[in-house]
Structure 1
Amino acid sequence: MISRIKVGISDYKVSGSPDVLMTLGLGSCVGIAVYDPKTRIGGLSHIMLPDSTPFSNRDLKPEKFADLAIPLMVSKITNGKFNIGLIAKIAGGASMFNFSELNMCSNIGERNVLAVKEKLKEMGIPIIASHTGGNIGRTMVVNLDTFEINIMTANREITKL
C-alpha cells in the first residue's frame, strides 16, 4: 500500500518504496530530496533558511536550516552509516519578495539554494536534477520507488525531475 506522506515547512520525512513524499509551498524555501537507489529509501526536507550560525537560541528547530536539516535527514536515511551512493534533487529557492535594501531577507531563495548545494557537496551527495530560482511557488512530489519527482508550479506547469 502506497502512503502519501506530507512534509511541512521546517520539517523532513524519510520513508521507502513505494511511498510518496510531498511538500507544498516552496517559495524561497528549498525542497531537498535525497535517495539511496540500492535500498530505495529516501527523504524530503523543506528548509526555510540557509544557516543556523547567526542564531544563538539553543531551542532552534534544526529542520528549519539547510546546514542542520540535511545531515539529520541523511543520517536517518542511512541509519547513521556512511552515505556512499546517495543522490539528490532540489527545487524551490524562488525570489518571492522585492526588497529595496539589502538585509537578512534579501535574496533568501538564492542563499537557500547555495547553502543546500554547498552542504550536499560537502557530504559527497551529487545533485542530479534541480528546478530552482524564478519567482513562482512550487509543490514537490517524490516517488520513492523510482525517484521521479514532479514539480508543480503555481502557474500549473508540471516538470519531471
Structure 2
Amino acid sequence: MDIFLQPGEWFVGDATLRLRTMLGSCVAITLWHPKRQVGAMCHFLLGERRRIARGGEELDGRYGDEALALMVQGLRRERVPAAECEAKIFGGGNMFPSRTAKGGAHPIGMQNGHAAREMLAGMGIPVRREHLFGDGHRQVIFDIASGSVWVRQIPPSVS
C-alpha cells in the first residue's frame, strides 16, 4: 500500500508500505531499520521554528527538528531505536533559480538540507545517501521492505 505525505506530515510503518511525497524547497528524511524492516519518513518545510514553542504546545511536523522528534517517538513505539536506523535525505531544491536571496542568504531549500544533516549528526544517525539541492522539485518513493528510495528531480519549467 502507498501512503502520500503532504508538507508537515510524517509516518512510521512496516514492510507492507511505500511512502511517497513531492518536494520543492522542503526536505524529506527517511529512517530505515534493515533488520526489522520498519521505516519512517517526514516532509518538513523549515528546519526549525523561528519562535520559541509555548509550554504544552504539540510538536509540529512542519519543522524539521520537531518532525524528526515525532519520527523517533513513532519508531520507539515500534521498539526500534533510531540510532540503529540509517537515514537518507532528499529535497532542498531551488524552485526559483532566477531569483536571488536577499542579503546573500542561502535559499530556504539549502538551509533545510543543511539543517537535516546537522539534526541527524547530532542524534548519531548515519546518513547513507542524500539527493539535495539543485533546481526544481523531486518525486520521492520510499519502499520500507527494501529500504530503497527512488527519486526523480524535475527542473523548473521555463516560461
Same fold (TM over 0.5): yes
The TM-score with structure 2 as length reference comes to 0.85
- Aligned residue for 1:68? 66
Structure 2 residue identity aligned to 1:89: K
- Aligned residue for 1:159? none
Following TM superposition, where does structure 1 have runs of at least 4 consecutive aligned residues deviating by more than 3 angstroms? Answer: 56-61
Aligned pairs for 1:9-28 (under 5 A) are: 9-24=7-22, 26-28=23-25
Distance 1:16 1:135 in 2: 32
**Aligned Cα root-mean-square deviation (Å):** 2.1
Structure 1's unaligned 5+ residue stretches are 156-161
What SS does the aligned partner of 2:111 have?
A: helix
Count of residue pairs brought into register by the alignment: 150
Aligned pairs for 1:6-155 (under 5 A) are: 6-24=4-22, 26-52=23-49, 54-56=50-52, 58=54, 62-79=60-77, 82-97=81-96, 98-102=99-103, 106-154=106-154
What SS does the aligned partner of 2:61 have?
A: helix
Q: Percent identity?
A: 27
Q: From the superposition, tell whether residues 42 and 82 of structure 1 become closer, same or farther in structure 2 (CA, over 3 Å).
A: closer
What SS does the aligned partner of 2:103 have?
A: coil
What SS does the aligned partner of 2:69 have?
A: helix
**2:101–2:107 Cα contact (<8 Å) kept:** no
**2:75–2:81 Cα contact (<8 Å) kept:** no
Structure 2's unaligned 5+ residue stretches are none
**1:89–1:129 Cα contact (<8 Å) kept:** yes
The TM-score with structure 1 as length reference comes to 0.84
